[in-house]
Structure 1
Amino acid sequence: MQNITLIGMPGSGKSTVGVLLAKTLGFQFIDTDLLIQQREGALLQQLLDQRGTQGFLDAEEAAIRSLSCERTIIAPGGSAVCRAGAIDHLKQLGRVVYLHVPLSELERRIRNITTRGIAMEPGQTLADVYAAREPLYQRYADLTVDVAEGNRLEQTVAAVLQGLIGCG
């Protein structure tokens, strides 16, 4: 099996599920948000404050396009689908799995929307970001896994694995 990239909204569990999936498969794990912070020498929210959303997306795309890996679970930021160069590179690296979480559950999970480092324009709400990105997640995903409210992490990991086996 090649690399597996987990896409989805902030708060969908990409990093948490990714670590468990990597342990289960014996893969490496990369969180591209951490990679961006290392490359840029700043926290995500600082980058957004200093460079704006477009500057942040430039840094994210550059970090993602720098990836060269095998047998790795990749957890990019939720905005990775906003730049064709970033998501196209991730698709070249392997399968893309969308962790779909309903908006109501995301609103329950995310309390620190203004300080979390989420790429969104001033005045946008989580619902606005969800509406803009949802079609992109659907378009780029090789597999969509619905993460229902109350799902345990193990259930989500099992659903991803089962779906990937089913995809061949």
Structure 2
Amino acid sequence: MKNIILIGMPGTGKSVVGRALADRLHYTFVDVDDLIVQAAGQPLSEILRSQGLDAFLALEGRIGEELTCENTVIATGGSMVLSEGAMAHLKENGVAVWLETPLSQISERMPEDLTDRGIAAPAGMDIRQIYRQREPLYAKYADLIVASRPGEDDTAHQVEEVMRTVGMQL
């Protein structure tokens, strides 16, 4: 069975929706952010501060390229779509689902300092600019698009329903 790869902006609920979806489907759950923290031995914000954006993106991309699993819901970091190699590898055995969330909702969930939240973006770039940069990449890699709903279980249910509707094997 294929993996389900959740992509989308930071603050869309990929981790909480991913856990709920994995529970519903009896899949394993993997949060790529957790793998990055384990590999670096530091929180995301500290990796960005001490090693810089390029090193963070390289580490994230390498983890995405090396991740091998089955029957797993994978919550990617919002910047995973910046790594073409990682996305190609993940999609070899997975279906990418874009949790699309309005920019206004994402903005409400973000702190003033995006680095504090561990968001990989060039200094001075605000959430609107990050959204504009990444939106075409989410669209490029998405096999399915699901509008994020209030409540992670509702969104998880919707992902499951959309996949069944288009005839994807779960």
TM-score by length of 2: 0.94
Match of 1:156 in 2: 155
Q: Matches of 2:90 and 2:166 in 1, distance apart?
A: 17
Q: Matches of 1:43 and 1:37 in 2, distance apart?
A: 5
Match of 1:93 in 2: 93
Q: How does 1:8-157 map to 2 (within 5 A)?
A: 8-111=8-111, 113-148=114-149, 151-157=150-156
Q: CA deviation at 1:95?
A: 0.3
Q: Matches of 1:25 and 1:78 in 2, distance apart?
A: 23
Identical pairs, percent:
43
Q: Matches of 1:161 and 1:74 in 2, distance apart?
A: 14
Q: CA deviation at 1:147?
A: 1.5
Q: CA deviation at 1:81?
A: 0.1
For 1:5, what is the secondary structure of its paired residue?
Answer: strand
Q: CA deviation at 1:83?
A: 1.1
Aligned residue-pair number: 166
Q: Deviations over 1:125-152 (max 9, x none)?
A: 000000000110011000000124xx22
Tell me which amino acid in the other structure corresponds to 1:17. Answer: V
Q: Matches of 1:43 and 1:144 in 2, distance apart?
A: 30
Structure 2 residues not aligned, in runs of 5+: none
Q: Matches of 1:16 and 1:34 in 2, distance apart?
A: 13
TM-score by length of 1: 0.95
Q: CA deviation at 1:154?
A: 2.2
Q: CA deviation at 1:51?
A: 2.1
Tell me which amino acid in the other structure corresponds to 1:73. Answer: V
Q: Matches of 2:153 and 2:70 in 1, distance apart?
A: 24
